[in-house]
Amino acid sequence: MAGIDYTERIPNNVSLSENRRLQRALEDWQPKFLEWWKDMGPLGFQAKDVYLRTAISVDAQGWANFDYVRMPDYRWGIFLAEPEAGRVVNFGDHKGSPAWQEVPGEYRGVLRRLIVTQGDTEPASVEQQQHLGRTCPSLYDLRNLFQVNVEEGRHLWAMVYLLDAHFGRDGREESEALLQRRSGDADKPRILGAFNERTPDWLSFFMFCFFTDRDGKYQLASLAESGFDPLSRTCRFMLTEEAHHMFVGESGVQRIVQRTCELMREHRTDDVRKHGGLDLATIQKYINFHCSVSLDLFGSEVSTNAANFYTMGLKGRFEETKKDDDHTLKGATYTVADLAGDRIGTREEAALVSLNERLRDDYVADCQRGVSRWNQVIRSHGIDVELRLPHRAFHRAIGSFADVKVAPDGRVLSEAEWDTRHHDWLPTAEDQVFVGSLMKPVTEPGRFASWIAAPPRGINGQPLEFEYVRLG
Ligand code: BYC
């Protein structure tokens, strides 16, 4: 079961050939996906050989195979984690009942919406990153970008499989619509805010992988707890791939910070811009932006949707089964951030409606661990600056703080104060032009752009000079 059948047109470990109807639906969708990939996937590199990993098994050990592949030939397919014998619904009103193998009729609409929302983010991120290959800081980074892109493509396949296998005609229509919406398009935008933002440069890309892919980790982990077993198994396997995306983000920013510190020491100045580096103040502004738009992805602090998803047994908490409580949360409370007059404080709320905020808390703690590792690099250079996560109420568009102006340190501001100060906290047009000016492609094997340090090691034991993408 763990092995993946690559002899079929659509690689899979779900015995697709035994379900002719589903096989036909997916084979009908496959050329449309490839059409979309050709239009919206990485621009200018479709015919190049890229050193990519492909899943060959869903076992924890040895699931990946590395080889040169042209991206349109990547074997996108359908991989579910192994079934767990006797799995039950672990939370909500159906706690203790056998996990569902088919969609419970009464939850069909809600479940479809959750799967479509998850699925929509995957092609969106590929669209957002479409232009980046042209300005890569190294072949190593170029390869990592493409690895992330093909895996987001596979995550789209994962959601399309669920829609086609379990939602009949509606599911097939949703699968088509996933290929029709476009990131940032005024008429047919992607569903969630962060996925309509631009990713114009590599600093944004690394920040996106650190902050926005990490939302992916927490959302997928909550969906992996689902009582709808096919969703749970799909998300469990997706999480193994998501880890690499966050590695790309965290290590990418870390290498930028390292290079910045080296330049600061060498030239005895904070202003490393004139020496071809990214100053820490600019890096902080990008943190503020990407963190705040990613915090929005968790939804409102108080949400009846979230309570319903939980009570229905469709979306759990992060590490639900490791928690030691009644897993129904009836009568329980949780502390949520709250605006009281001109200050931000906290208040107790029913735990069920606070589930988005709870997941956001888990997420913020995880982000903080990464930022602390960046700060260790700064400290190791003897530099007295700390990067910080902005306050959770800063620059929010969703939830309790959408209508207030708040500084990164959590102070509530007047509109006038915000107007005069926000340029200090968020990337300005000028900052973006400067960052853009550094984005010159570096494509000689083993070389890296002026603004980013080399990584400590290559991919899959290969040296840094390895030709990760064959451009010749
Ligand atoms: N932008 O009660 P509310 C990933 C809507 S990332 C626009 O506040 P709820 C990845 C909401 O849809 C993970 N709209 O929130 C990363 C609702 O609309 P309706 C993606 C938003 O429903 C990088 C209304 O506001 N996965 O995988 O509790 C690269 C009120 O909703 C936003 C998921 O998100 C927003 N930011 O929670 C590639 C998991 N926030 O229904 C991939 C599935 C809220 O009134 N989704 N709204 O029309 C969910 O669990 C939930 O839909 C959300 C929102 C957590 C997103």
C-alpha of residue 396 to centroid of ligand 1, in Å: 14
Q: Tens digit of pLDDT per residue, the chain (472 long)?
A: 456 777 788 989 999 999 999 999 999 999 999 999 999 999 999 999 999 998 877 776 667 889 999 999 999 999 999 999 999 999 999 999 999 999 999 999 999 999 999 999 999 999 999 999 999 999 999 999 999 999 999 999 999 999 999 999 999 999 999 999 999 999 999 999 999 999 999 999 999 999 999 999 999 999 999 999 999 999 999 998 899 999 999 999 999 999 999 999 999 999 999 999 999 999 999 999 999 999 999 999 999 999 999 999 999 999 999 999 999 999 999 999 999 888 999 999 999 999 999 999 999 999 999 999 999 999 999 999 999 999 999 999 999 999 999 999 999 999 999 999 999 999 999 999 999 999 999 999 999 999 999 999 999 999 999 999 999 8
Ligand 1 pocket check: which of 305, 308, 317 to mutate, most ligand atoms within 8 Å of Cβ?
305
pLDDT digits (tens, 9 = 90+) for 370-428: 999 999 999 999 999 999 999 999 999 999 999 999 999 999 999 999 999 999 999 99
Ligand 1 pocket check: which of 235, 300, 301, 308 to mutate, most ligand atoms within 8 Å of Cβ?
300
**Ligand 1 pocket by C-beta < 6 Å: which residues?**
114, 117-118, 121-122, 125, 152, 192-193, 212-213, 215-216, 219, 296-300, 303, 305-306, 315, 356, 398
d(CA 443, CA 449): 9
Q: What is the DSSP string of 316-335?
A: --TTGGG--S-SS-TT-EEE
Reference 314, options 85, 122, 103, 87; nearest CA is: 103
pLDDT digits (tens, 9 = 90+) for 354-366: 999 999 999 999 9
Running DSSP on this structure, what letter comes out for residue 90? -
d(CA 247, CA 13): 27
All residues at 6 or more sequence positions from 417 whose CB lies less than 8 Å from its CB, including other chains: 405
**pTM above the 0.95 mark?**
yes
Using alpha carbons only, give the angle 159, 161, 162 rounded to the nearest 5 degrees.
65
